[in-house]
Amino acid sequence: MNQVVLIYSGGLDTSVCIPMMTEDYGFDHIVTVTVDVGQPEEDITMAAEKAARFGTEHYTVDAKDEFARDYCFPAVRANAMYQGGYPVSTSIARPLIALKAVEVAQKVGAKAFAHGCTGKGNDQLRIEFIVRTLLPDARIVAPMREKNMTRTEEIEYARVKNVPIGQSAEKIWSIDENLWGRSIEGGRLEEPDFAPPEEIFRWTAGPQEAPNTPETVVVRFENGNPVAINGKSMDPLTLIREAHNLAGKNGVGRIDVMEDRMLGLKVRENYECPAAILLYTAHAALEALVFTKDERDFKRVVDAKWADLAYAGLWIDPLKHDLDAFIDKTQERVTGEVILRLFKGGISVIGRRSPFALYNEDLASFDSKTWDQRDGEALCKAYGMQARMAAQLNIG
């Protein structure tokens, strides 16, 4: 049997792929795989219904718990912000989606893969890296890339083939959503100076709709992982959803960035990442309390590289495993609570505590004599000695 496994979201790109598989590529059996990493339930249902309409052999894989525990929480421990601009979200779901699709392919004995990624985006690299690593002999079909199709051409193709889609020529933006983040792009949103319309946002309240009273949130961490919010212990999936709701209703988590894609293209992206912003802010504040200065400085370098590898989809790269080992070691003391204030899109740390805090109030206080200030004179005499000598030579 000539069959292909199509990584299937039910959206525009993957929906138009289905008729192409038989008409243009000659496959006589199509296996569609939808991996649930926190998309809206209606999207999962819609994908299954579309697959049934097209007559594919369809699989829905529930990977939400795994995504929360093994992908989102490591991102928290790494404070993973791509280019310092936004939490990695879409990118960290792609390796898991590809992995689950590979498992289905192995189950049904398929030797060909298909995806709806364009030739301009990052996802083609992230998905194919996993597939080519785990199934190096598999044939990979990428119709959008191979046919050089525009988004408008896809919409017209869907109309001609009677493929149900949610996009139109007026509302052409593409939305990708998972448990950790929501990205919105396309149409006029590609213009760097176009103000995003309020209608593109779903997870975060605008300033007018957000509560007029600040909200206090307490997040507890153990070994770098968030384990409780406002005193209530939760599993990773439940905790992320609670953080999502608390931050989102207060307008926290909207991000508008100019992003450098892996192919070198510079694009404008809009994101909603309320849970990630809340948990990252709390986690970084706790690290600042328990880390030495050198640990903080070096981990910033490690975190940035970790985020780059995660953004690139290199989840099983040896260097990423090495960085994981370092990060996990540092997190052994990242235990404690952080108190946050949320208000109309703003988030601020107003308190933190930990049994591993390196802060000593008695030593730091200006009203204490535990640290004899007179000892500072000797330090000042030695401080910057070589720099002072060099400066004197230059003056001379």
Catalytic residues: 13, 94, 123, 174
Q: Return the ∠ at Cα 196 (arms to 190 and 200), rounded to 5°.
A: 100
Strands (E), the chain: 3-7, 29-36, 57-62, 81-82, 86-87, 112-114, 139-141, 174-177, 182-185, 215-222, 225-229, 232-233, 254-260, 266-272, 336-343, 346-353
Structure token digits, residue 139: 């044939």
SS3 184: strand
Q: Return the ∠ at Cα 25 (arms to 103 and 97), rounded to 5°.
A: 25
Instruction: Report phi then psi at 351, rounded to 5.
Output: 180, 155
**How far is it, in rounded angstroms, from Cα 173 to Cα 155?**
12
User: Partners of 217 in the beta sheet?
Assistant: 340
Edge-to-edge strands of the sheet including 225-229?
232-233, 225-229, 215-222, 336-343, 346-353
**One-letter-per-residue 3-state SS of 6-32:** EECCCCHHHHHHHHHHHHCCCCCEEEE
Answer whether 341's CB lies under 8 Å from 214's CB: yes
